[in-house]
């Protein structure tokens, strides 16, 4: 188990270096480009298999216990250690990251985005995977920061070199926002480490803030929270996200929405809730307020983009929907209750599956039509995907109703539990305030249903137009990349205990100060 976790974190980096080297003569296949893309599928596939084996070998009877741990001294003077481990909170995110990266590599093998050499593309995707996996596996504050920052450069280049229109401006906006937030976050992490005498996250969580004064906790939560909120993204620090998604290639959008956004909310749960509970208690009402504003704002922005005549971009609309969905995650965390935090963690996974699928589908629609502009897609009578490409239209409708939180699919449980957490927040938090937040968030679910159904009506329905070239339906490689996401969305919706059975004991222990 120890070896597997270290393997999962380190091997993508080795694979990234190997991708930049010339392919051995016997492995080149039809071309060097094909060889390096096949290399990406092989490495990410090996990581996915290792993650599944790790999940199978995980002690499901004790998910609150840190498992597969490695603890090696790295910088003794600062007591910085190479400390790795997983519990019921981090394991689902680890498997989700491995799955989405493999599906993106598989998709890219058949549909490589336009841009420079595939060598650099594959290497950047593997570095991105390593940094994300490390973020969910490390148990040292400084290592967490390094892993958190490691993903920025690969994503910057994926947008800037393989993106679409306005890619340079979007990439710069992404890197500047996230770097500024990270600098502030580093100050908060250093404050905790220096005041408590350790950077070890397990030790700090067990101490549960007893070694830190209330003022230190408040300052630390403010500083770290800003950095995490930028990555989440929380309103009003979200404005980099729509531009980044609109410009990014399909696989870049899938990884950005499905994996990178989860790093911010994971930091709230893993670091701020257990290590600085007094500081979180102070800021919880403000966090909840920003969260519900984000829910309503994201939904209204999507409605504006979906309106006929607005020239709304479908990728931009899905990006704004992420602002709303991540608002539910933040609302659950702000309740500081086991119910709310479990809902936040469930919504994290559900959003990764559903929005990852949505960006795959929107990318496919854009490839076929040459545009993601809703007005162009709908035309006078609708794009009529049901008639022209029934499988693609059906999948898009499925992903849309999953995103709006239809009961029986993954999107429902996380949002419902986040609302339940707000109904009865932690002791000391204002219940009337949180009931107000819950009511606003519930109204946001109606807005979400409205814009998603408008998108389905405009893109999928309408009279079938006779055109010289028939629209291609879902290809075999697309089925291979999308089917796991569809299956897991249904499985998580029908059998939520699979995920909640992992997260709940770990959350209970986290909120109880390290006591099971």
- Phi then psi for 324, rounded to 5 degrees? -65, -45
Mean pLDDT computed over 77-95:
88
pLDDT of 468: 43
pLDDT band (50, 70, 90) for residue 27: low
Is residue 513's pLDDT more than 70? no
**How far is residue 286 from each of residues 74, 178, 186, 273, 334, measured CA to CA in Å?**
38, 21, 22, 15, 9
pLDDT band (50, 70, 90) for residue 463: low
- What is the overall mean pLDDT for the chain? 87
pLDDT of 123: 93
Is residue 385's pLDDT more than 70? yes
Residues 389/474, Cβ–Cβ less than 8 Å: yes
pLDDT tens digit sequence for 333-361:
999 999 999 999 999 999 999 999 999 99
- Report the chain's C-alpha Rg in angstroms: 22
Judged by DSSP in three states, 73 sits in strand
Between CA 335 and CA 505, with CA 98 as vertex, the angle to 5 degrees is 35
Of 253, 270, 312, 297, nearest to 103 by C-alpha is: 253
Judged by DSSP in three states, 406 sits in coil
> What is the per-residue DSSP string for 424-480?
S--TTS-HHHHHHHHHHHHHHHHHHHHHHHHHHHHHH-SPPPP-SSPPP---HHHHH
Residues 326/265, Cβ–Cβ less than 8 Å: yes
Find the range with the poorest average confidence among 102-106, 168-172, 267-271.
168-172
Is residue 62's pLDDT more than 60? yes
Contacts of 153 (CB under 8 A, 6+ apart): 127, 175
- pLDDT over 70, % of the chain: 95
Hey, which residues does 75 pair with through a beta bridge? 80
Of 251, 234, 105, 109, nearest to 177 by C-alpha is: 234
Query: What tokens does 381 get?
Result: 């009578």
């Amino acid at each position: 188990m120890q070896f597997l976790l270290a393997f999962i974190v380190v091997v993508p980096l080795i694979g990234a270096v190997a991708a930049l080297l010339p392919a051995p003569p016997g492995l080149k296949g039809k071309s060097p480009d094909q060889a390096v893309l096949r290399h990406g599928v092989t490495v990410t596939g090996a990581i996915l298999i290792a993650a599944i084996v790790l999940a199978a070998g995980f002690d499901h009877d004790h998910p609150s216990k840190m498992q597969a741990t490695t603890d090696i001294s790295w910088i003794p003077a600062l007591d910085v250690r190479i400390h790795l481990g997983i519990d019921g909170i981090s394991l689902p995110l680890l498997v989700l990251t491995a799955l989405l990266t493999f599906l993106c590599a598989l998709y890219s093998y058949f549909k490589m985005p336009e841009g420079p050499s595939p060598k650099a593309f594959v290497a950047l995707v593997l570095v991105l995977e390593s940094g994300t996996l490390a973020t969910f596996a490390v148990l040292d504050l400084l290592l967490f920061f390094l892993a958190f920052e490691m993903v920025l450069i690969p994503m910057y280049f994926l947008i800037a070199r393989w993106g679409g229109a306005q890619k340079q401006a979007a990439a710069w906006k992404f890197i500047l926002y996230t770097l500024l937030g990270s600098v502030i976050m580093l100050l908060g992490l250093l404050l905790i480490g220096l005041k408590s005498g350790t950077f070890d996250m397990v030790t700090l969580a067990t101490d549960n803030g007893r070694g830190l004064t209330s003022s230190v906790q408040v300052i630390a939560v403010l500083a770290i929270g800003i950095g995490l909120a930028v990555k989440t993204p929380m309103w009003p620090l979200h404005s980099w996200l729509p531009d980044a998604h609109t410009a990014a290639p399909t696989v870049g959008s899938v990884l950005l929405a499905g994996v990178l956004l989860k790093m911010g909310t994971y930091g709230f749960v893993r670091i701020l809730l257990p290590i600085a509970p007094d500081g979180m208690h102070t800021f919880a009402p403000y966090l909840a307020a920003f969260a519900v504003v984000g829910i309503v704002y994201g939904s209204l922005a999507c409605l504006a983009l979906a309106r006929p005549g607005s020239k709304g971009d479908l990728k931009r609309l899905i990006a704004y929907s992420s602002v709303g969905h991540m608002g539910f995650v933040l609302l659950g965390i702000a309740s500081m209750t086991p119910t709310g935090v479990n809902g936040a963690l469930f919504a994290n996974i559900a959003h990764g599956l559903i929005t990852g699928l949505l960006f795959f589908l929107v990318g496919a629609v854009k490839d076929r039509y040459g545009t993601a502009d809703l007005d162009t897609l709908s035309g006078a009578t609708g794009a009529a995907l049901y008639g022209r490409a029934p499988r693609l239209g059906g999948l898009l409708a499925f992903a849309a109703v999953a995103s709006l939180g239809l009961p029986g699919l993954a999107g429902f449980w996380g949002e419902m539990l986040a609302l339940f957490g707000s109904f009865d927040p932690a002791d000391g938090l204002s219940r009337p305030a949180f009931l107000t937040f819950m009511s606003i968030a519930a109204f946001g679910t109606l807005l979400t249903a409205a814009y998603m159904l408008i998108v389905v009506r405009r893109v999928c329905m309408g009279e079938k137009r006779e055109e010289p070239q028939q629209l291609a339906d879902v290809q075999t490689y697309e089925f291979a990349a999308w089917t796991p996401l569809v299956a897991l969305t249904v499985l998580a919706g029908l059998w939520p205990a699979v995920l909640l059975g992992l997260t709940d004991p770990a959350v209970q222990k986290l909120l109880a100060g390290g006591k099971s």
